[in-house]
Amino acid sequence: MAAARPLEAAAVPLHTISLFVNNKPGVLVRVALVFSRRGFNIESLVVSPAAEGRFSRMTITCSGIAEDLEQVVKQLAKLVDVVHAIDHTGDESYEVEIALVKLECALNERTQILQIAEHYKSRVVDYGTDSMILQAYGSSEKLDAFIELLRPFQLKELVRSGKLLMARGVSVT
């Protein structure tokens, strides 16, 4: 789950790494160990099947110094089941994340919540007598702002997908 980062961590840039890997058991553990050995914390991780079923795509977001992360990407590329590893930080790419936000809310608060939801183009996916669930998508920064506006209400639960990324044009992701 990607969460709002504390002010101290804001100075350290976020990097998005894309891995194209063989779809086999144990690959995720070996990838996570590379980050762990180098002292990097994975902020978000999304794994999904690629167009061809025997491969998977991993999109990893982490914070750290670019030079140190360069070494991590090189080590990832050397793993047997990694076909290729790319740091997309600064590249032209399309990025999106999804969030589900559950709020406990009285009827008199719903109008204000729905105005915020409409502004961020989110939608209500569940109404209850004393709660609602909103689904929002967009950049991580957009979702951070959306969630901060909802914090004054009774935010009961938050689930975020982690960043999905695809390189623009014909570039490889």
- What angle, 0 to 180 degrees and rounded to 10, lies between the N-to-C axes of helices 66-78 and 27-37? 150
DSSP letter string over 2-13? --PPPHHHHTSP
pTM for the model stands at 0.79
Contact 150, 102 (CB under 8 A): no
The full set of domains in the chain, from first to last, is 7-87 (3.30.70.260), 93-165 (3.30.70.1150)
Query: Rounded distance, CA 150 to CA 162, Å?
Result: 19
Return the structure tokens found at 27.
Answer: 């690959």
Per-residue model confidence as pLDDT tens digits over 22-66:
999 999 999 999 999 988 889 999 999 998 889 999 999 998 888
Radius of gyration of the CA atoms of the chain, in A: 18
pLDDT of 119 over the 80 cut: yes
